[in-house]
Structure 1
């Protein structure tokens, strides 16, 4: 075994190497013990479980309400079935209900009023005569044509003749 005491060189100046060696060795041993007994800084333990999170009272209450509602409905159904069994279960298929609208009378009156107004309007339109005369319109149109011929630079017959001649010459050119 190698003797460390003889080869020990203290870092700081000292009077006695042996004592310094023992003190340093003691400090080192204390340090090693502290390192071994040190607790981890990160908590890796599972979190606490609380009873109110495991029991879930609201869910249990809703389930109980649902079960009680189902029981009540089953009981009502059983009562109805027993009543049917006791009375013979006759079926009433008569339906005397007549559909009735709340505003049907008002709509009928409104429809009658509109129909009467339309008939009066039709009577007035068919009884009155026309205000414009087709004969007067035709006479005015002929007068306008005469004015256009006198105002125009070229007479109307002249332009009609040149157009017809132009068509004839263009058709001959094509042949």
Structure 2
């Protein structure tokens, strides 16, 4: 505290008043420090099963056991390599096998039998198309068209002229070349 004590109220003895005020202040500080909160701000306690997390510990133990097993396998392989004569076994004698090869083979045989049966049915069947009837029908239609039309239809090559037009210069050259020939 400050050396010059100034009491708030008029007093007869400043020294006693200072001691009483100091005692009151210390008593107040003890009460404040020992006071309990009115509002509980601690929150809820976390349950033990959430804090401990047994499943996480179990998974961690399983993971560690797998790692230990792999380490033991690796150590045994390294021991075999060290104990061997130094020959390298680099041949992999794995035969590729499919687990459903038999099933696929049966399905392939079934499909090929079905295809063969379909092929036999198709080749054994006679054609229902009668080309001769179609040809006769077409000729009848052509005759009717000829009878109805004003001018008879002719094939395109009959309508063209068979005359060839030759120019005079080309004819002179042809005559000269034919005269040179023996």
Q: Which TM class, normalised by the smaller chain length?
A: 0.3 to 0.5
